[in-house]
Structure formats: C-alpha cells, structure tokens
Amino acid sequence: MKIEIPYPLRPYTGNQPAVDVDAATVAEAVNGLTSRYPDFQKHLYTPDGKLRSFVNLYLNDEDVRYLPEREETAVNDSDTLSIIPSIAGGSCPVG
Amino acid sequence: MLRVSQPVYDALRQHGEETYPHECCGVLLGHFLEEGGQAVNAVEEAVRAGNTRTDSAHNRYHIAPQELVKIQRTGRERGLEIVGFYHSHPDHPAQWSLTDFAEAHWLGCSYVITAVERGAARVTNSFRLAGEREEDKAFEDERIEVTGQMNPGFEPEPLRQSRK
C-alpha cells in the first residue's frame, strides 16, 4: 500500500512524497514506515507511544481513529494511508 | 517568501470579506521553490475550505482533516503540494495569535492572515512556520510577492482631479 507523506515530514523519508510498504494492517504499514525511516517515529508518536494529538491518519477517506478496529484495520495494496497534520487557529488569544 | 498572483491574492482576501464576521479558511496549493538560497512558497491556487468551528467562528477556525486529505489528493494529481494556509481575523490585526501558533504544525508552510475590519479586507500578512520539529517551531515574518502588478504592496493614492 501507499503512504502519503506531507511536506513537513518529508525530510524524514528522504524527501519521498509517498512510500510503498507491504502490510496487512494499518499498524503494520506505520511500523513498516518507521522501521525504514526511524527518525519518523518521534514525529508521529509521543514518548509514551501515543499518536500525537495533531497527527491524523486517514485510510483512504476514513479517519483511522474512528474505524471499528482502528490501527488493526486490514489493508490491501490499493489502499492509501495519508498522514495529515491538523490545521486550525484563529484570533482567539487562548487555546 | 510567499509568491502569489494578484487574482489568487484578491480571492483569499475576498473570502474573508464574504465570511465576515466569521473567520474564513483555506488551503494554498503550489510549489516549494528555492531561489538564490531563499525558500519560495509559490502559490498556484487558493482552495476554500469550510470552517468547522461553528461554535466560535468569529475567532477560531479549523479545517476538517478529511477535507484536507481530499485537497491534498486532488492537488497532487495536478502536481501541486500544500504550501500554506490562509484565514481571516475579523476586527483583529493580521498578526498570528497564540492559538494560531499552538495549532500550527505544517513546518515550512506559509500561514497567511488577513485582517478584516467591519467587513473590508485590510492588511494581509504571511508567516512561515520555521523549524525542524514541533519542539523548535517558530513563526517568521514572510514577504508576500504579488505577481501581476507594478508595485507589490504599494497602494497608490487616488489621482487628483485637475483644475479647469
């Protein structure tokens, strides 16, 4: 399957905009990515292993967080996993 | 530096006027260039996005990730990348806020802010999110080059009527 890499994280994949991995689940796909590019790990996960709050994983058009089996969802070669940082803000002075 | 054509520049400012008193938001598609050692985010297109923060749309914005995924996908199909984002600050200066900074995660991208005063677009500024990771990110002032006009950033005064 293909993992699409957004520009901010591309320095950690040798500037590749997309990476092909062999995987049976979303988790295997992400592990395949971070195994090949170890520096990628800390940009996706907190030190205690949780996906960073501002990082979204989309399997095709579905938010992985809301899939019944989440990261254990099965994937096939034609699937695309998008790693997409969130975008928000506003003039409000406090978060 | 942010490079944007006059029609796209006008369009993103007009978007802020249309959504006033709420914040508008959108995505800038284009190319990451380097010219003489300087990073240039060259915008080809501004794509309007919906503001999901309907609970506080006058001073907050958020683009649904699913919409972002689709914009990124359609952009890449045309050879374009997400090079930045834009939003408006209704009745508020065109300066990034602590909220803008806290919620900014696209390193290397441009964050364009237009101040809209009583429904009229005023100052537009751009800030590049510099840094190599979340922990050392910083907003840097970024020059906007508007192409297709004689003097970018210069607003001529109205011509005086000649006396007869």
Query: Given a cut of 80, is residue B163 above it in pLDDT?
Result: no
In a domain, A93, yes or no: no
Mean of pLDDT values over B33-45: 96
At residue B162, does pLDDT exceed 60? no
| pTM, two decimal places | 0.90
Q: What is the pLDDT of residues B145-155, one digit of tens each?
A: 999 865 444 44
**Cα dihedral A14/A17/A20/A26 (nearest 10):** 110
B5 is written with which tokens? 């054509």
Q: Which residues of A touch B92 (CB under 8 A)?
A: 91
Does a structural domain hold residue A94?
no
Q: Which residue of B25, B71, B87, B99 is the best one to mutate when testing the A interface, meaning the one whose CB has the most A CBs within 10 A?
A: B99
pLDDT of amino acid B158? 44
pLDDT-above-90 percentage for chain A:
75
Asked whether residue A52 is domain-assigned, the answer is yes
The whole-number average pLDDT for the span B53-62 is 91
Terminal Cα-to-Cα distance of chain B (whole angstroms)? 46
Whether pLDDT at A62 is above 60: yes
- For residue A22, being part of any structural domain is answered with yes
A-chain residues within 8 Å CB-CB of B82? 6-7
pLDDT at B8 over 60: yes
pLDDT at B149: 64
Indicate the residue type of B78.
R
Instruction: Give 3-state DSSP helix, strand, coil % of chain B, rounded to 5.
Output: 20, 40, 35
> Looking at the 3D structure of chain A, how many domains does it have?
1
Q: Which residue type is seen at A56? A: N
Q: Is residue A95 part of a domain?
A: no
Asked whether residue A10 is domain-assigned, the answer is yes
Give the CA distances from residue B133 to residues A35, A69, B42, B58, B75, in Å, rounded to whole numbers and listed in that order.
19, 30, 22, 30, 24
Chain A CB within 8 Å of residue B70 CB: yes
Q: What is the CATH number of the domain that holds A52?
A: 3.10.20.30
Q: For residue A6, give its domain range.
A: 2-85
The answer, for A85 touching chain B at a CB cutoff of 8 Å, is yes
Residue A92 falls inside a structural domain: no
